[in-house]
Amino acid sequence: STTVTSILLNTTTDAEAFISNAEVAVIGFFQEPESPEASQFRLAASRIPEVAFGLSSSPAVLSQYDVAANTIRLFRRVDNDWRDLDMNSEDIDAEKLTRFIRMNELRLVTEYNPVTAVGVMQSSLAFNLLLITDKKSPEHSKCMHGYRAAAELFMGKILFILVDINLKSNERVASFFKLKKSQLPALALFHVPDEEQDVVTLDEISVEHIQDFCNRFLE
């Protein structure tokens, strides 16, 4: 038997619960749940198991979210925003759909890479906090624990980003903030509209340190 990769959302209550339960929720709104577009949607869902996929062909659900049929909408909790992909417009297949999701799936903590960079640039949040670090370091999981906890506190205000220095393309980010590898882990806070920034290097990434740093900058 094939595993069900997308949940059928028959009512607006189903849809609301589905969205509020996920950091990133993707819903395919289809007139025909068995259409070729819907099958491409299911194929994409099977390729990205860590993202919640729902499918609805209920007229009530479509009108609740004010979407046209054959629209894919990605809902994000982190900035309380969404992105749409119109499957009628051109030949959208599972590949393009997967790329659309990868580009826009901003999370509580989003890992920065050339694909997610697009979504980060287009986020509706004015403040970005970057944890620039070495993911291979033995301290990493402890660091991340504090970072994620702090991200909860600033949700909807600051976009929390993880920049792993082992990724070649991320060396540019470190040099943009004038950081050397020996100075990591470091936090960099960036105000997108006017490019104002502040950088701090820390021995320990704790919720308290992050809170102090962010609050000072926000004031």
Beta strand spans in the chain (E): 6-8, 24-29, 52-56, 71-76, 81-86, 109-111, 127-133, 158-164, 186-191, 196-201
The chain-wide mean pLDDT, for the chain, equals 93
- Cα–Cα nearest to 187, from 173, 197, 201, 206: 201
pLDDT single digits (tens) 142-162: 999 999 999 999 999 999 999
The CATH architecture that domain 110-218 belongs to is 3-Layer(aba) Sandwich (3.40)
Burial class (CB in 10 A: 0-12, 13-18, 19+), 136: exposed
Q: Is the model's pLDDT at 178 over the cut of 70?
A: yes
Give the Cα separation of 38 and 46 in Å (integer). 13
pLDDT single digits (tens) 15-27: 999 999 999 999 9
What pLDDT is attached to residue 2? 47
Tokens read off for 101 = 């999701």
Structure pTM?
A: 0.89
Start-end of CATH 3.40.30.10 domains in the chain: 7-104, 110-218
3.40.50.300, 3.40.50.720, 3.40.30.10, 3.40.1710.10: which CATH number matches 7-104?
3.40.30.10
